Structure 1
Amino acid sequence: MSAALPRPADDGSLIELRHGARRVLIAPHVGGAIAAFFDAGERGDVHWLRPASREALAACDPLGMASFPLLPYCNRIRDARFVFDDETVDLAGDGNAFDHALHGHAWRRPWRVGATTRSSVELHFSHVPSAAPAHHWPFRYEATQRIELSSAALTVTMSARNLSDRRMPFGMGHHPYYPRTRTTRIHTRVAAMWHSTPDLLPTHLGPHVCIGQLASSEGMLADAFDLDNNFAGWSRRATIAWPDEQRSVTLCAEAPFDHMVLYAPADEPSLLCVEPVTNTVDWINLDGGGGGGCVLGPGESIRASFAWMPLR
C-alpha cells in the first residue's frame, strides 16, 4: 500500500473490510466513498482501484477517492436546470462548483454507517429539501449502499426510495478511478457513443472508432483516444487490464446500469474511469429519450448491484 494512505488505526473515520488478504477502505464522511480496494502482500499491496491519498482524505475530497456514489443523477445537467412535470427545477445554488450541475449531491455529503461485519457495511443517506446548499433537489428520498467483500469480488448494491408525495426523476451510479499505465487496456461492448460539446454536453448518439477497439479481443489502450464520453447499449461488463502486470479487474453490473462513462483524458494521463451509470449526461433535458434514468412514484424504490472481480 502507498505510504500516503492511512489505515483505520490512524484515521478513526475509515472503515476497513477484510476477506483473507483482500481489503477495502470506506470513507463514509467523504460522500460515502470507497477509499481503496487492494490485495495486501508482503512485497507490497496490489490496488484494483486508484487509492485515495492522505491529502485527499484530509481534505474530504471525493474526487480524490477510489470511487464515490452518484445520485440522484449521474453526470451533468445543462445549466443546472430542467423542467419536470411542468415545474422548473433550478440547482444552480446547491453548492455545486460546476457550470452544469454534476453528479447530484450525495457525493458531497456524509453518509451514516449502518450494519457492519468484518466483510460488509451498509451506508445510509437521507435527503430532505431545504434552502441550505446541497439541499436544493426538491424531492425527498433515502438511499443505501451495501458494500460487501468476498474472495471473488467487491459488490456494491445501491438502492433508493422516493419519500416525496410526488413523482421524482432519478438516476444513480458509481465513479471509480483505476490505476492507469501506458499499457492499460479496456475491453467492453457498447452500441454507440454520445458525442459532446467542448463543455461535455451531449449532441448526438453515433459511432466512434473506439467502439471497435473496445470490443476487440485485446481491448483498447487507455491512451488511444482523448475520451470523456457516455456510451449507450453497454453490455454491462467491462475489463480493465494491466497486461504487463498479468492482472485485470472486471466490472459487472445489473440493469438498469445500462450506460457507461469512459474517462481517459489525454492531458491527464494518470486518470482513468469506467463508470456504471443508469443515465447519460443531461438525460432529463434530452429530446427523444434514450438517455436512461427513471421516474419513481411516491414510495417507489429502485435497487441494483455491480461488482469488481479481480484476476491475477
Structure 2
Amino acid sequence: MTPTLLELEDHLTHLTLAPELGASIVNWTVRSTGQPLLRHSDSQALNTGLPGKLGCYPLAPWSNRISEGGFDCPEGWLALTPNSLTDPLPIHGSAWQQPWRIVSQGRNEAVLELDCTTPFAYRARQRFHLSEGRLSIELQVTHLGEHAAWHGLGLHPYFPRTASTRLQAQARQVWLCDSAKLPTELSPLPAEWDFQQLKDLPHTLVDNGFCEWDGHCLIQQPELGYELECQATGSDYYLLYCPVSLGFFCIEPVSHPVNAHHLPGRPGLRLLEQGQSTALGFSLQYRELG
C-alpha cells in the first residue's frame, strides 16, 4: 500500500516526506527543473516500505551498529536483537522502523513525532523547514523511561553520485574497521580520505566514521549543476559510506562513533534521565552552479 505523503515547498525546492515510513524524506528536488538534491526515490522504492531505499531517515536512539547483543545501562544490561535483514547486528536504532504522527504541517514546515517503547521508552521529534533553498532538519529525543539510558542520534541522507561529485568535510582522524564493520583503531587520515579540501570521492569502498568534525561539509555536483553547503550541530562525527559502482553516497551527521556503547568513555553518547533530551541538527543549502 502506498504510504501517505506530505509535501513542503519554498520558491526554490520541493520536499516530500513519508511519516509512516520512519518519518523519512522521500525526495528533495529543485522546483524549476525537477533535479534531485537527494538520491531520487521512484514509486518502486517507495512501495518497498523501506526507509533505506528513500532519501533520508532518522537514527535514534543510536546510530549504526552495536555489538555484543546489547549494552550496559545504570540499571543493568539492555539486550538488543538484530533489526535488519541486511545486517547481523542491531543497527540505526528503532525510530526509522516506526510510523510517526503528524504534529503540524504548513506550506514550508512540518513537525513529526514518535512515541516508542523499543528498546526503551522515548519520544522523538523531527522538524523539517524549507526557506530560500535551505532544508533544515532538527531531530530531538526525550527519554521517557523510568531508568536512565544511553542515547545517540544521527541522520542518514543519500546523495546522488556522478564521476565528478566532490566533497569537502574536515576531520582529524578516522576509525578503521574489521570485517563486521565495527571500529578497531583510530588512525590519521589516509590521503585518499582527507577531505580538508574539495576532492573526488574514493573509487574503493569507504564505510567508516570520521572524528573531530567541525560540522561543515560541501558537496559539489558539477555534472548536475549545483552544490549543497551543509552544517550540522550536535554532531562531532560523520560516517562516510561510498559503495563501489552505485549512483549514491552517504555522509551522515552523527553524535557518536559506531559501537560507541562499547568504546572507552562511550564517546558522544548521552546518559538521559526521564524527561531529559538531546538534539541534532542538519541544514543543507542548495545553490545553482554557474
Normalised to the residue count of structure 2, the TM-score between the two structures is: 0.93
**Partners of 2:235 and 2:253 within 8 A in 1:** yes
**1: CA distance, partners of 2:143 / 2:172:** 31
**2: CA distance, partners of 1:200 / 1:53:** 29
Equivalent pairs, count: 286
- Give the aligned partner of residue 115 of structure 2: 126
- Give the aligned partner of residue 172 of structure 2: 191
Matches within 5 A, 1:169-188: 169-188=150-169
Task: From the superposition, tell whether residues 48 and 28 of structure 1 become closer, same or farther in structure 2 (CA, over 3 Å).
Answer: same
Give yes or no for the alignment of 1:202 onto 2:183: yes
Give yes or no for the alignment of 1:248 onto 2:227: yes
**2: CA distance, partners of 1:212 / 1:227:** 9
- Give the aligned partner of residue 7 of structure 1: none
Which of residues 151, 154, 164 is equivalent to 2:145?
A: 164
Displacement of 1:220 after TM fit? 2.4
> Secondary structure at the residue paired with 2:44?
helix
Displacement of 1:20 after TM fit? 1.2
- Give the aligned partner of residue 106 of structure 2: 117
- Give the aligned partner of residue 8 of structure 1: none
Which of residues 274, 278, 282 is equivalent to 2:255?
A: 278
**1: CA distance, partners of 2:16 / 2:159:** 15
**Partners of 1:190 and 1:211 within 8 A in 2:** no
**1: CA distance, partners of 2:264 / 2:279:** 26
- Give the aligned partner of residue 220 of structure 1: 199
Percent identical residues? 27
**1: CA distance, partners of 2:205 / 2:77:** 35
> Secondary structure at the residue paired with 1:244?
coil
**Partners of 2:154 and 2:280 within 8 A in 1:** no
Matches within 5 A, 1:68-87: 68-85=57-74, 87=76
Give yes or no for the alignment of 1:96 onto 2:84: yes
Give yes or no for the alignment of 1:238 onto 2:217: yes
Displacement of 1:251 after TM fit? 1.6
- Give the aligned partner of residue 13 of structure 1: 4
Deviations along 1:231-261, one digit per CA (max 9) or x if unpaired, are 110110111111234421122011x211101
**2: CA distance, partners of 1:96 / 1:37:** 26
Displacement of 1:281 after TM fit? 0.6
**2: CA distance, partners of 1:303 / 1:287:** 23
**Partners of 1:210 and 1:220 within 8 A in 2:** no
Normalised to the residue count of structure 1, the TM-score between the two structures is: 0.87
Unaligned runs of 5+ in 1: 1-10, 129-134
**1: CA distance, partners of 2:91 / 2:276:** 24
**1: CA distance, partners of 2:89 / 2:169:** 28
Which of residues 147, 151, 154 is equivalent to 2:132?
A: 151
- Give the aligned partner of residue 5 of structure 1: none
Root-mean-square deviation (CA), in Å? 1.7
Matches within 5 A, 1:132-147: 135=118, 137=119, 139-147=120-128
Task: From the superposition, tell whether residues 140 and 40 of structure 1 become closer, same or farther in structure 2 (CA, over 3 Å).
Answer: same
Give yes or no for the alignment of 1:297 onto 2:278: no
Task: From the superposition, tell whether residues 298 and 14 of structure 1 become closer, same or farther in structure 2 (CA, over 3 Å).
Answer: same
**1: CA distance, partners of 2:129 / 2:49:** 23
Unaligned runs of 5+ in 2: none
Displacement of 1:211 after TM fit? 6.8
